[in-house]
Amino acid sequence: MAKKLLPAFAAIMAVSMLVLAATTKPNFSGTWNLDRARSFGMPPDMTQVLTITHKDDQIEVETKVIQPNNERTIKDTFVLDGKEREFTPPAPPTLPNQPAPPPAKGKRTAAWLPGEIGISVTDVTTAQTPNGETTTQNVRKWTINAQGELVVDTYFDGPRGSFEAKRIFKKQ
């Protein structure tokens, strides 16, 4: 009898471990390099490196944006509690001898996706332009795919229209 129960018990334990592993929240910590060949919806001469620190329900991101003759670092924080928070959007790069635009204002909501399979970050940004106030919405969905890559799906709506982008990052 015991010989029959042992394989059954082992099978139950294996299935339980698989279910537990499948329901564990992803941790995005690490350094991630953009895979340009499998990404779309970005300037053709741009690449990115993300350095992420993820602890509990807070994610700190340092994004290095690299373009010819221009490299900049953007720091950001996401609090994954579903509450709307004010934030200061990064200023766009300016041309030499051009004045910087007035700072934009933003509101952000970040939360776990259903089943805690990834996160969703929604930014609503308001900026003053020579043509008046403009509002944009940027929704990002972060997941880790079966290959262990960070996939960031972005949906942008603004005064110049709407577009979609996908960025796939490989962990260093």
Of the candidates 99, 103, 106, the one whose C-alpha atom is nearest the C-alpha of residue 125 is 106
Express each pLDDT in 58-80 by its tens digit.
999 999 999 998 899 999 999 99
Query: What's the whole-number mean pLDDT along residues 22-41?
Result: 92
Query: What's the whole-number mean pLDDT along residues 10-30?
Result: 63
- What's the pLDDT at 78? 97
Collect all residues with Cβ–Cβ distance below 8 Å to 64 and sequence separation of at least 6: 48, 49, 50, 51, 71, 72, 73
Classify 161 as helix, strand or coil.
strand
Cα gap 93→110, rounded to integer Å: 25
Query: What's the whole-number mean pLDDT along residues 103-114?
Result: 96
Classify 146 as helix, strand or coil.
coil
Look up the pTM and report it.
Answer: 0.82
* 7 confidence band (pLDDT: 50, 70, 90): low
Of 11-20, 38-47, 111-120, which gets the smallest average pLDDT?
11-20
How many alpha carbons fall within 13 Å on the CB side of residue 61?
18
- What's the pLDDT at 11? 47
Q: Which amino acid does the sequence have at 33?
A: N
What's the burial of 69, exposed, middle or buried (CB within 10 Å: 0-12/13-18/19+)? exposed
Residue 171 reports pLDDT greater than 90: yes
Residue 41 reports pLDDT greater than 90: yes
Cα gap 76→152, rounded to integer Å: 15
Residue 12 reports pLDDT greater than 60: no
CATH number of 28-89+102-171: 2.40.128.20
Of the candidates 8, 39, 9, the one whose C-alpha atom is nearest the C-alpha of residue 170 is 39
Residue 170 reports pLDDT greater than 70: yes
Kind of pairing, strands 30-34 and 70-79? Answer: unpaired
